């Protein structure tokens, strides 16, 4: 499956996905990495790994207009799926519709708990003993689509939002690639399967 990754910042989840895709049995490849901020640190890393990168700048553009550029880049790269990895900009309903069922996000909480920002502090302030991360399908409502996979991470008594975030990030890096691999395998179109059978028979 051909994956387009959208980032806004350092791109550590994107990096983990690029490394996962190097395994010969990985069912996905990263065909483009797009940032909405030309300064996004992840872009350099992606380029160094040989992934095609596109640096866009959303500033001064209307949301729908910018998302049309995004869509054009993803389509030009013939992406089957879109992966949001620390993409910090809300997407327009039109864009979400175009990628319905083919776009996923990772969120640093055990959804449906703590949608939105500041998840780690909210988990600590609530006295939770466990938090974690979730991979979910993206729908028009923020952080509300079907959950495809989760990893629980224990909260330690002396955790701060930062120390907890660091540990959850380790779990994110594993969960995201594993869940994406399962998702694209489960979603294989029957005609693509037939192609594979034909290849095997040759
Ligand atoms: C991750 O914690 C992710 O869950 C959240 O934003 C952060 C992105 O980090 N949505 P990175 O850019 O992948 O390093």
- Degrees (nearest 5) of the Cα angle 55, 134, 188? 75
Q: Is the ipTM of this complex over 0.85?
A: yes
Q: Who contacts 8 (Cβ-Cβ below 8 Å, separation ≥6)?
A: 35, 36, 37, 40, 86, 87, 88, 89
Task: Inform me whether the pLDDT recorded for 191 exceeds 80.
Answer: no
In the prediction, which pLDDT does 200 show? 75
pLDDT in the model for residue 67: 97
For ligand 1, atom 7, which residue shows the shortest CA distance?
86
105 annotated as ligand-binding: yes
User: Which residues are registered as beta bridge partners of 77?
Assistant: none
The pLDDT value given to residue 136: 98
- Which runs of consecutive H residues, i.e. helices, occur in the chain? 12-20, 42-48, 63-76, 93-98, 119-125, 161-186, 190-201
Residue 37 is predicted with a pLDDT of 95
- Mean pLDDT, rounded, for 171-200: 83
Q: Which two tokens stand for residue 201?
A: 């028979």
Domains and their CATH numbers in the chain: 2-201 (3.40.50.170)
Q: What is the pLDDT of residues 103-130, one digit of tens each?
A: 999 999 999 999 999 999 999 999 999 9
3-state SS, residue 28: coil
Buried b (16+ CB within 10 A) or exposed e, 51-90: bebbebebeeeeeeebbebbbebbeebebbbbbbbbbeee
pLDDT value for 189: 61
Q: Which residues, listed in sequence order, are joined to residue 5 by a DSSP beta bridge?
A: 33, 83
pLDDT value for 154: 98
Q: Name the catalytic one among 107, 120, 136, 173.
A: 107
What ligand 1 atom has the least distance to the C-alpha of 107? 4
- The CA 106 to ligand 1 mean position distance, Å, reads 7
Establish whether 129 is an annotated binding residue.
no
Residue 198 has pLDDT above 90, yes or no: no
Predicted pLDDT of residue 107:
98
According to the model, what pLDDT value does residue 141 have? Answer: 93
Nearest CA to ligand 1 atom 8: 86
The rounded percent of the chain whose pLDDT value lies above 90 is: 91
Atom nearest to 168 CA in ligand 1: 2
Residues with CB under 6 A from ligand 1: 7, 9-13, 85-86, 106-108, 169, 172
Ligand 1 centroid, distance to 86 Cα (angstroms): 4
Give the ligand 1 atom nearest the CA of 133: 4
Q: Report the chain's mean pLDDT, rounded to a whole number.
A: 95
Q: How far is the CA of 56 from the centre of ligand 1 (A)?
A: 19
* Bridge partners, residue 154, by sequence: 130
Known active-site residue 107: yes
Of all protein residues, the one whose alpha carbon is nearest to atom 5 of ligand 1 is: 86
**What is the whole-number distance in angstroms between the Cα of residue 196 and the centre of ligand 1?**
34
Please say whether the beta carbons of 57 and 89 come within 8 A: no
Mean pLDDT value across residues 125-141: 97
> Ligand 1: which residue has its CA nearest to atom 12?
11
28 pLDDT above the threshold of 70: yes
Residue 192: per-residue pLDDT? 61
pLDDT band at 197 (very low <50, low <70, confident <90, very high): confident
């Amino acid at each position: 499956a051909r994956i387009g990754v959208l980032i806004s910042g350092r791109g550590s989840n994107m990096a983990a996905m690029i490394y996962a895709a190097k395994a010969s049995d990985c069912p996905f490849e990263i065909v483009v990495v797009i940032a909405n901020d030309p300064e996004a640190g992840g872009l350099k890393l992606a380029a160094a790994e040989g992934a095609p990168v596109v640096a866009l700048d959303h500033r001064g553009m209307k949301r729908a207009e910018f998302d049309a550029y995004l869509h054009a880049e993803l389509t030009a790269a013939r992406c089957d799926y879109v992966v949001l990895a620390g993409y910090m900009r809300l997407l327009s309903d039109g864009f979400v519709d175009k990628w319905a069922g083919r776009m996923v996000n990772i969120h640093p909480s055990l959804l449906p708990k703590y949608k939105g920002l500041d998840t780690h502090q909210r988990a600590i302030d609530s006295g939770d003993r466990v938090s974690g991360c979730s991979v979910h399908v993206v729908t028009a409502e923020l952080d509300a689509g079907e959950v495809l996979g989760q990893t629980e991470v224990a909260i330690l008594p002396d955790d701060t939002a930062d120390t907890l975030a660091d540990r959850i990030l380790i779990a994110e890096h594993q969960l995201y690639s594993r869940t994406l691999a399962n998702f694209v395998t489960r979603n294989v179109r029957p005609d693509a399967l037939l192609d594979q059978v034909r290849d095997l028979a040759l």
